[in-house]
Amino acid sequence: MFEKLANSTYRIVCGHSSGSGFSYRLENIIITNCHVIENTFITKQEIYAITEDNIRFLTKLIAYSSKEEYDFAILEIQSSLPKNRNILQPNLELELKRGIKAVFSGFPHGIPDLLIHEAIISNVQNSKSFYLDGSINGGNSGGPIIDSLSGKVIGIVTQRRFLSPNNYSSAKENVKNIQKQCKSFIDKGGNVYINGLDISRVVGLISESLSITSSVLDSNANVGIGIGFRIIFVENKLKELGLI
């Protein structure tokens, strides 16, 4: 089952953004999160689905739901799949509840190595989503969540819960503002010296260090809580399109 899941999963790349995705229902259909491919809306970046052994497929976006709604994107592969690829099917009858064992796959942090993890549903959040107790990281977004008994899809990895102080976002914005001011000042040839110390340079180095620190925190902070969105919303859209 783990190998079948691996052979269903892709790294999704759209410009500088990367996440995960999976073959679903039909040979030419791949599902991912809308937020993974949003660069295609902004700069018309092409969307590629890449296998673990680095086979690259150009895809076409045929439908999506915004990240504020159900956060999915339906992609169509523009060429034939190799014979070893697996197509995941849905489990629409399973009642999602605490304790159900699940497995999810993806490319965390954008690394080229496909990782598979076990998890449990720790709670049902609402009619749209559920909590996963598992090691979900940036880059897992768009990957499949399967029921460990049937091997069928029950959801899409959509969010990693990053619990932080309320003022963390504000602090990050302050760092960005300091960097902008320092760069603007230095670009204009400005320098401020106190007893021979270049203060503008010192402030610039401090803000750069803080920026690196916040980036490391964003990448590695993991409280072991993820959120999956139910697959039923993708299923409804495919029916609406007449594809199933």
Express each pLDDT in 121-147 by its tens digit.
999 999 999 999 988 888 999 999 999
Half-sphere exposure (CA, 13 Å, Cβ side) for 72? 28
**pLDDT grade, residue 190 (50/70/90)?**
low
**pLDDT grade, residue 111 (50/70/90)?**
confident
Q: Which of 80-84, 112-116, 185-189, 229-233 has the highest mean pLDDT?
A: 229-233
* pLDDT confidence of residue 165: 53
Q: Does position 101 have pLDDT exceeding 90, yes or no?
A: yes
Q: What are the angstrom distances between the C-alpha of 79 and each of 58, 88, 106, 124, 204?
A: 8, 18, 22, 38, 49
What span, in angstroms and rounded, lies between the C-alpha atoms of 219 and 214? 9
What span, in angstroms and rounded, lies between the C-alpha atoms of 24 and 72? 13
Q: Does position 163 have pLDDT exceeding 60, yes or no?
A: no
Q: Does position 90 have pLDDT exceeding 80, yes or no?
A: yes
SS3 216: helix
What span, in angstroms and rounded, lies between the C-alpha atoms of 241 and 238? 5
Extents of the domains making up the chain? 2-162+222-240, 168-220
Average pLDDT, integer, range 15-31: 96
Average pLDDT, integer, range 50-65: 96
Residue of higher predicted confidence among 240 and 159: 240
Q: Would you say 30 and 202 are in contact if contact means Cβ atoms under 8 Å apart?
A: no
* pLDDT confidence of residue 109: 85
* pLDDT confidence of residue 138: 84
Q: What CATH number should be reported for the domain whose range is 2-162+222-240?
A: 2.40.10.120
Residues in the chain: 244
β-pairing, 115-124 with 153-160?
unpaired
* pLDDT confidence of residue 235: 98
Q: Does position 222 have pLDDT exceeding 70, yes or no?
A: no
Q: Pick from 175, 178, 196, 174: which is nearest to 186 by CA? A: 178
Q: Does position 78 have pLDDT exceeding 90, yes or no?
A: no
Using the structure block, give the residue that is written with the tokens 């079948």: 4
* pLDDT confidence of residue 32: 98
Q: Does position 166 have pLDDT exceeding 60, yes or no?
A: no
